[in-house]
Amino acid sequence: MWRNCIRLARGLGQSAVLRLDPKVPCCGGVRGLNPGAPCSPLWNSLAWLSQSKRSKDYALPNSSWSQDMMDLYSRFLEMCKDGTWKRIPSYSDTADHVPESLKLANEKERKGTRFFPRNLDTEGVGFEYAMFLNPSEKRMVCLFQPGPYLEGHRGFAHGGSTATIIDSTVGGCAIFVAGRVMTANLSINYRNPIPLGSVVLVDSKVDQIEGRKVFLSCHVRSIDGQTLHAEATALFIQLNSTKSLQQQVSSQ
């Protein structure tokens, strides 16, 4: 989950959107926020949105996306225009999501690793998804289309892949509110299986913050809202940025 949280602490530079369509406004920047405002975990996370433009953004449309996925993506892009929502990019290398100045000592020399939901180069066979953040509502949504390599029961996405995309979404939501966090608990109730190739909306929000504890909830629904596929609650713990992850895990 640590990788899931780090992964979302980066945003989209304007050029990534322009590669998709020059007419689409930049949704991943921090337009409208005051750079001189006091620092907060949310502001610090949003400030990462323009750190790097070197890596390929896998959260942009590709030929494997269904029409439902494209329509839902376009709908959220439209809501980005007034700054209410921010589009969050996704990269294959965990290290690309963390600015050098914010990396812990044991993160600086990582090689040969790959972020789990982006561990395939072939489009459409694994996790196809795009995330959007609503900072004022402390809410993160994920547009998710499971590919054939995620099959569990014949014709349906494996429950573990559903758990992964829920974990990634609530983790992203937590990090934009509290900064560096780590999963303490994730509880999922599966209601209806997700057909492979279908599109679902993973909707998460922060419910409560108590000290270093961040409580969240999440629902996975069909795009028409009629089918509840899964619901979850999660607890994340805010990490101490002056200590390594290993030190903090050992002290628990």
Whole-prediction pTM: 0.77
- Flag whether pLDDT at 64 surpasses 90: yes
Token code pair at residue 154: 């014949």
Give the pLDDT of residue 19: 35
Mean pLDDT of 175-185: 90
CATH of 2-30+37-250, one of 3.40.190.10, 3.10.129.10, 3.30.70.330, 3.40.50.300: 3.10.129.10
Q: Which tens digit of pLDDT belongs to each residue from 27-63?
A: 333 333 333 344 455 545 555 554 445 688 999 999 9
The percentage of the chain sitting over the pLDDT mark of 90, rounded to a whole number, equals 58
Q: Which tens digit of pLDDT belongs to each residue from 181-238?
A: 999 999 999 999 999 999 999 999 999 999 999 999 999 999 999 999 999 999 999 9
Catalytic, 167? Answer: yes
Choosing from 57, 167, 203, 207, which is the catalytic residue?
A: 167
- 129 confidence band (pLDDT: 50, 70, 90): very high
What are the sequence ranges of the domains in the chain?
Answer: 2-30+37-250
Dist CA 109 CA 200 (whole Å): 36
Q: Which tens digit of pLDDT belongs to each residue from 144-157?
A: 999 999 999 999 99
